[in-house]
Amino acid sequence: MGVACAERHVSHTILLPICSIAAHFEWLFEKGDPNTMVSHDKKKVGLRPIDVRDLVERLRLGIGQAASLCDVSIRQLSYWTDKGIITPVDEEKNRCYDYISLEKVALIKQALDQGYSLEGAVAEAESFIKRRDQERQRLESMPDAELEQYVLNQANLLQGLSDKIRREIRTYRVSGQLQGAAASLGGVDRLISFFEANPYTVNTARQIAIRLGREMSEVERELQLLEQKHFIQKISYPGSDVYRYIPQRR
């Protein structure tokens, strides 16, 4: 359970409240302040965004539901509870589990699936939660300007991840139907990235191969593939062909 997992969790805890706040203000601008409206008009002001955090904090599940949600057996969860590994919420002498407990159960299950012993899985889960809480405290004490920059950086990371996934999906669609006749996905992806980085230039297969440091025969096969999929256009000139990028709709 590495730093990347923690970063994804932190970005979620930061961005989700921001989105809720933004949605709330948008609702106010459109509908006006509900506190200043006449009581008989309250049904007409529209719906407010739901604060997911409030729902999560009030979540309570019985042992069967909790075990099913976390993909563990009731026997496992009962044993962990008896051992004091998991602390349930005592409601009318029935064991109920809140979000904090469910999160720890899910983390332990994740560590067990990776090959940890129960003792090691518990230590990994508790260490992860401790690091996450320390990072949350750091963010809560962060000055507004620094926090704004942090959120922007997280947004840029998410955008970069989105672009990478989009390229990989398109690469798969382009080469996944070739029945083994094309070069590797990595090669096609590099070629796609090359054209996206140079959208207004035309190049011969030889020029592209030299710039990418690859075998010309491989590049020629991939260019033919991309042309068939209407990702690039081949323009024939006496003595050589050049290739031009065709902008793609997102």
Residue 46 Rama label (left phi>0; alpha psi -120 to 50; beta):
left
Which one, of 238, 164, 135, 242, lies nearest residue 198 by Cα? 242
Q: What strands lie across the sheet with 94-97, from one edge to the other?
A: 61-62, 94-97, 89-91
**Residues whose CB is less than 8 angstroms from the CB of residue 24 and which lie 6 or more positions away in sequence, other chains included:** 48, 49
**pLDDT per residue rounded down to tens, the chain (250 residues):** 443 443 344 444 444 444 454 554 454 445 555 454 445 555 566 788 888 888 888 899 999 999 999 999 999 999 999 999 999 987 667 889 999 999 999 999 999 999 999 999 999 999 999 999 999 899 889 999 998 998 999 899 888 888 877 776 666 665 554 444 344 556 777 888 888 888 888 889 889 888 888 888 888 888 888 888 888 888 988 888 898 888 766 5
Q: Which CATH architecture best describes the domain 3-140? A: Orthogonal Bundle (1.10)
Q: What is the domain partition of the chain in residue ranges?
A: 3-140, 182-245
**Rounded distance between C-alpha atoms, residue 37 and residue 146, angstroms:** 37
pTM, entire model:
0.49
- CATH number 1.10.10.10 given to 182-245: yes
